[in-house]
Structure 1
Amino acid sequence: KMRFSYDTLETENSMMLAELAAQQERIDGLLTKVKNGYWEVARAKKEAETLRSIMKGYIGTIDSLNQLNTALLDENLAMKAQMEAVSQENADLVERQENMEDMLEAGQTLQVAEFLPTGVRVLSSGRQRDTDRADRCNSLRVCFTILENRIAPVGDKTLHLRITDPTGRVLPDESGSTELSASRTIDYVRERLDACIFYNGADGNAILGLDAGTYLVEILEGTEVIGTTDLVLR
């Protein structure tokens, strides 16, 4: 009976030892995994710290680039504003130059004063007599004074006479053209000058056959009207 108990105890002890060995092996495996796990965590932590340091460097670089970009943007805006100011100044200078040229050109234009148009009747004797009767006019005489102009170019100047009848029709010149009624060339020397232009129509000294009414009389230098008045015929 004691032999049986001893054998049984020995058998149970062997089984426990085997189980303990198996548990120890599991524990060793778990310890190995834990150690490996800690190593992975440590490595990941180290890599994270490295990445965090790199990110801080990137953030610093980005901040520096942003500051540089802001400075360049401010400089660009300042330069743009300066260029716009210079461009506006140039535009103002061009406009001023154009205005001065216009003023000079306008100042060079002749001016007419003492403008006097008159109907003329030519008698059989050849003498001329002023008339305001439309049906007796052989000619129209337009006299005027050209004022002194110290900046006008000297030399020959062609002045044109344009007479518009009460119906709005321009009296034709000797060639029949209705753009202008008559022309005359004068020698201008920048001094006051009295002059007259005669309108004789297309038939010389024949009766002009004018209608009664108000006629618009204009003197032109080139295409510029330099004097205008009315002539009333009855």
Structure 2
Amino acid sequence: MENQKSSSSLKAVIAVLAVLLVGSLVYIFKVTSDVKTVETELKSTMTEKETVMKDLQELKATYDTAISENTSMSDELILERDKVVGLMADLNKSKGDVASMAKYKSQFNALQNNMKALMTENEGLKTENKMVTSQRDSTVVVLGESKKYNEVLVGQNEELAKVVEKGSKLTVLNIKALAYKMRSSGKQIETDKASRADALKISFTIAENQIANSGDKTYYVQVIDSKNNVLGEKKTVSFGDKDLTYSFATNVKYENKTVQVSEVLPGKDFAQGTYFVNVFDKGEMVSKTSFTLK
């Protein structure tokens, strides 16, 4: 009888141990599976982080190359490159989790789209700059109103520009020039036809600068047609030993914040060909562009 009880007790103990063993194996399997899943996810997110970082490095290299070409878009390119550098710094600090990687990839895609648009515009400006450099080596200078014909020099040698303190210098960006047909109703219709144009609209941006001197600023805008004629008022102003003939002057109240400037230059009988628009701060050319009327 005692042997039967001992046998029953042994079986019960064995059964309990078997259940515990099975439970332990299931638990170990689950833990191992979870660890592998986490390792896989970590490897995946780290690979994504490395890929995005590599893409951002290539994007920065593209901007560095474009900035080194020193076109009139250099300021815009530098601003976009700084955004890329900032995103690289943030990405480098991130843990690379799925949520943050989705955010960084979205920001990268937006920066990449901006880069493509800016590179297209920059290539166009490089082509125009080559044409201007090969055809023009100085700005228009009028020696006196008594002369029968104005002596005109087109363009401005950038070496004439004096170097000023970078921190306090105002930057002129995004200069644009468009031709319009003015309706009697006042409506403006953009055109690229010389025969239809009766006004030019010149616009540019003065960038924010907190350490520059505030107050009234005067910019002189010079518009030169394809026949080397200065359009508009044709007034002359002297800066030292230099005479500048300009199309119109625009006065700006600058309070250390970004200012948008837009002026309309009326005209008639516009000639076909390439026009050059130069913006001067006193005797220094601070921005330029060109456009063509067919």
TM-score with structure 1 setting the length:
0.49
Larger radius of gyration: 1
